[in-house]
């Protein structure tokens, strides 16, 4: 989706070529790939009278998610497709950078764990002292602990769904979309079955009944930044840039958390693998060392 969006953004937004012509140019690439096939599929749908959003739904070469299609659908109604493409491109680029950071953060732990396991197995085989069943148990415990740590790292370094949700609401409100509808669109971004998704779903319902932002988002903690931001927005009525400011603060907090996480990855895995190797030595090699000492 990112490559398709970037190419379409380059032609349609930056070079100001019409949507149909942009898709036709993308479909006529010398080397056929997913982007060109997708462009050809959408171009044919547009030529038969379909809307861009409906064409995305029926496109088979690439699967566009509900968030992407919803933004395009709203942009068609609002008449501002270029801004929507710009926002979607930035969102997809953030997701790509996030996955890249997780991949980079995984290299060192994987290397350390593999080195520790390989060294332990090699020493056990070479000295003929290892109980392989017990060694397998030790390795299993190490892998379980490391996997739990890895999932924690992914959670800390992964997509900032709350930031993306507030950022989407801010973009839509600035684009002239009614607040209740904008909050409703953020539900899919936050995840409908998640805690954040339920927060936005309840807010959408509460806003539809005319509640203010504080009540709608159930800001009970008067010391929270969210409560303070909504409080001043309700008084001053300055809701246009409110959600973008909240998103900016959430992103800054997430970035600080990521910085701490990156600084702790190496020492944590060194400690875990160190304990593993020490346990191996104490279990398998101390009896051998004691026997040598008695000789």
Interval 149-181: pLDDT, tens: 778 777 777 777 778 888 888 888 887 788 888
The pLDDT score that the predictor gives to residue 287 is 58
The pLDDT score that the predictor gives to residue 13 is 83
- The Cα 182–Cα 234 span in angstroms is 17
**pLDDT tens column, 178-211:** 888 888 888 877 777 788 788 888 888 888 888 8
**pLDDT tens column, 41-78:** 888 888 888 888 888 888 777 788 787 888 888 888 77
Tokens describing residue 64: 């566009």
User: With 70 as the cut, is the pLDDT of residue 239 above it?
Assistant: no
Give, in degrees to the nearest 5, the angle at Cα 160 between 110 and 233: 160
- The Cα 203–Cα 143 span in angstroms is 41
Q: With cut-offs at 50, 70 and 90, classify the pLDDT of residue 289.
A: low
Give the list of residues 6+ apart from residue 123 with CB closer than 8 angstroms, or none.
Answer: 130, 280, 285
User: With 70 as the cut, is the pLDDT of residue 285 above it?
Assistant: no
C-alpha closest to that of 175 among 52, 65, 237, 88 = 88
The pLDDT score that the predictor gives to residue 131 is 65
Q: With cut-offs at 50, 70 and 90, classify the pLDDT of residue 84.
A: confident
Give the list of residues 6+ apart from residue 234 with CB closer than 8 angstroms, or none.
Answer: 212, 213, 214
- The Cα 162–Cα 157 span in angstroms is 13
Give the list of residues 6+ apart from residue 5 with CB closer than 8 angstroms, or none.
Answer: 85, 88, 89, 92
The pLDDT score that the predictor gives to residue 219 is 58
User: With 80 as the cut, is the pLDDT of residue 88 above it?
Assistant: yes
User: With 50 as the cut, is the pLDDT of residue 293 above it?
Assistant: no
C-alpha closest to that of 161 among 93, 228, 244, 254 = 254
Average pLDDT over the chain reads 77
Tokens describing residue 152: 């924690």
CA-based torsion, 115, 116, 117, 122: positive or negative: positive
The pLDDT score that the predictor gives to residue 294 is 45
User: With 60 as the cut, is the pLDDT of residue 224 above it?
Assistant: no
Q: With cut-offs at 50, 70 and 90, classify the pLDDT of residue 141.
A: confident
| Secondary structure element (H or E) that encloses residue 164, with its range | helix 161-174
- The Cα 29–Cα 25 span in angstroms is 7
The pLDDT score that the predictor gives to residue 113 is 76
User: With 60 as the cut, is the pLDDT of residue 237 above it?
Assistant: no
The pLDDT score that the predictor gives to residue 295 is 47
DSSP state of 128: T
What is the percent of the chain where pLDDT is above 70?
84
| Secondary structure element (H or E) that encloses residue 16, with its range | none
- The Cα 95–Cα 2 span in angstroms is 9
The pLDDT score that the predictor gives to residue 184 is 82
C-alpha closest to that of 64 among 34, 19, 27, 33 = 34
**pLDDT tens column, 125-140:** 666 655 667 777 777 8
CA-based torsion, 65, 71, 74, 80: positive or negative: negative
The residue ranking higher by pLDDT, 158 or 248, is 248
**pLDDT tens column, 270-281:** 888 778 777 777
């Amino acid at each position: 989706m990112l490559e398709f969006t970037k190419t379409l953004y380059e032609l349609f937004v930056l070079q100001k070529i019409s949507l149909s012509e942009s898709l036709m140019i993308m479909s006529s690439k010398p080397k056929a790939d997913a982007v060109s096939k997708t462009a050809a599929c959408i171009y044919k749908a547009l030529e038969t009278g379909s809307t861009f959003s409906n064409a995305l739904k029926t496109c088979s070469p690439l699967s566009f998610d509900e968030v992407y299609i919803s933004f395009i659908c709203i942009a068609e109604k609002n008449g501002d497709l270029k801004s929507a493409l710009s926002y979607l491109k930035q969102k997809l680029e953030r997701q790509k950078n996030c996955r890249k950071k997780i991949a980079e953060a995984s290299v060192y732990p994987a290397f350390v764990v593999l080195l520790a396991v390989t060294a332990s197995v090699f020493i056990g085989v070479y000295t003929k002292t290892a109980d392989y069943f017990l060694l397998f148990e030790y390795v299993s415990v190490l892998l379980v602990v490391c996997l739990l740590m890895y999932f924690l790292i992914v959670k800390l370094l992964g997509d900032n769904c709350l930031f993306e949700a507030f950022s989407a609401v801010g973009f839509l409100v600035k684009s002239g979309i009614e607040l209740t509808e904008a909050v409703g669109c953020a539900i899919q971004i936050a995840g409908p079955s998640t805690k954040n998704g339920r927060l936005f779903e309840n807010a959408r319902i509460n806003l539809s009944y005319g509640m203010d932002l504080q009540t709608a988002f159930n800001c009970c903690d008067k010391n929270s930044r969210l409560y303070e931001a909504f409080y001043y927005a309700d008084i001053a009525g300055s809701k246009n840039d409110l959600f973008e400011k909240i998103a900016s603060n959430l992103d800054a907090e997430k970035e600080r958390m990521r910085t701490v996480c990156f600084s702790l990855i190496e020492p944590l895995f060194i400690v875990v693998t160190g304990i593993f190797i020490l346990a191996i030595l104490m279990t398998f090699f101390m009896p051998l060392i004691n026997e040598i000492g008695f000789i």
